Amino acid sequence: MIGGSGRSGTTVLARVFASHPSIATIPEVRLLTDPDGLLDFLSGYESWSPYVMDFRLKRLDRFLRDLRRRGSFHRALSSLNRRQPWLRTEVPYSSFDVARQCPDFQQLGRKLVEELTVCSFAGEHAAMRFGSRKVVRVAVAERQEAEAAVSRFLHRVAASAASHQRRTHFLEKNTWTFLHFELVRRLVPGARMVHIVRHPCDVVASFTKQPWMPSDPMQAALVLRMLMGRWRAARAAVPESSVLEVSLERVCADPRRSLGRICDWWGIPMSDSILSVDLTRSNAGRWRRDIPGPVHGRLEAELAREIEEFEAVHSG
């Protein structure tokens, strides 16, 4: 696994290892962490009732169907969305072509929903949305049983992708999976994660350019602090041997040594193919250009703990 705060190098590191002859991947579809995804579904067991789980099971089913559809209609909407950026025309997740790397994904998603469903019947309740089919699904009552079904699904997806791509290992890269790594290890025992970090001020500078983060640097710094606070709690709950922390700056400065270290830790052979990805544009120090000078001191003070932790990883 690869995890990080976002804008910290997770995507570039995943691209590097996608070129490794032993590693299979699928698009970053955020199966685990997105709203209506697998972890969201499991969180419903905190307030279990037949109606709550009917709602969550239907949303999970819709989420998985959104991931697996990739027809000409959805490609046309994606094209329109690119030409008219002010208008959100794109069907959720239609830009992800999961079936290309995991042809069995549709059947595996259906099988998961079937395993999570005890029974279904014609009926309705007050929480049902207008226009929805009058069908109620009863989900399994025990979280342990639901986790076992989700675990089987994840293993099947990994095995299917690896078999199709003729690889021996499967790499999962979803930016915020690291926030729930303790649960992920329950679902996938033995999972090992590379946590890639970057100078926190550079992360903030990059955050401010993203549509899914605040454009104000101090607000973006607050979000980063919250993310890293949750990561500290998650990190403390898993074995030390299950996480390897590396810095993006170190990977870019000395890729052979840094990537070789990751290969050794994952137990896969080093391959020169992973050195073909261009790592020269890390934008190190961009925050001093992109963030107004008067904010620099406040930003460094706000992120003092995160900067100290980054420097410990970077120099380690």
For the stretch 145-191, pLDDT in tens is 999 999 999 999 999 999 999 999 999 998 899 999 999 999 999 99
Strands (E), 228-289: 243-247
CB atoms within 10 A of CB 313: 17
| pLDDT given at position 128 | 78
CB atoms within 10 A of CB 112: 22
Which amino acid belongs to residue 210? Q
| pLDDT given at position 92 | 66
User: Which pTM does this prediction carry?
Assistant: 0.90
Which parts of the chain register pLDDT below 70? 68-96, 131
| pLDDT given at position 258 | 97
| pLDDT given at position 89 | 47
Parallel/antiparallel/unpaired status of strands 23-24 and 2-3:
unpaired
Q: Which two tokens stand for residue 98?
A: 């999961």
Q: Which residues contact 234 (CB under 8 A, 6 or more apart)?
A: 178, 179, 180, 181, 182
Q: What gap in Å lies between CA 205 and CA 303, rounded to an integer?
A: 13
**Domain residue ranges in the chain:** 1-25+171-316, 29-168
| pLDDT given at position 133 | 77
| pLDDT given at position 116 | 98
Q: Which option is the CATH number for 1-25+171-316: 3.30.70.270, 1.10.1660.10, 3.20.20.60, 3.40.50.300?
A: 3.40.50.300
pLDDT in tens, 272-294: 999 999 998 778 999 999 999 99
Q: What is the DSSP string of 65-80?
A: HHHH---HHHHHHHHH
